[in-house]
Amino acid sequence: MLRNGLEPWHLLIVAIVVLMLFGSKKLPDTARALGKSMRILKSEAKAMKEETPQ
């Protein structure tokens, strides 16, 4: 069924759908919020790893 995985035209369709759902004005804010969340998650995971005694 999905032998080749994602092809370039699949990504193009996903990008068009995302643009239609969120609009071009909200995308930069959404990307900024996602990046901030990822940084917080990464720092919390690092802190948890340092806390556990080994």
Give the mean pLDDT of 6-10. Answer: 80
Q: Does the pLDDT of residue 53 top 80, yes or no?
A: no
Q: Count of CB atoms within 10 A of residue 21's CB? A: 8
Report the alpha-carbon distance of residue 14 to residue 20 in Å, rounded: 10
Q: What are 9-48's pLDDT values in tens digits? A: 888 898 888 888 878 788 888 889 999 999 999 999 999 8
Return the pLDDT at 37: 95
Report the alpha-carbon distance of residue 19 to residue 26 in Å, rounded: 9
Q: What global pTM score does this model have?
A: 0.53
Report the alpha-carbon distance of residue 15 to residue 10 in Å, rounded: 9
H helix or E strand, kind and range, residue 35: helix 8-51
pLDDT band at 1 (very low <50, low <70, confident <90, very high): very low
In the structure encoding, which two tokens stand for residue 8, read together? 């370039």
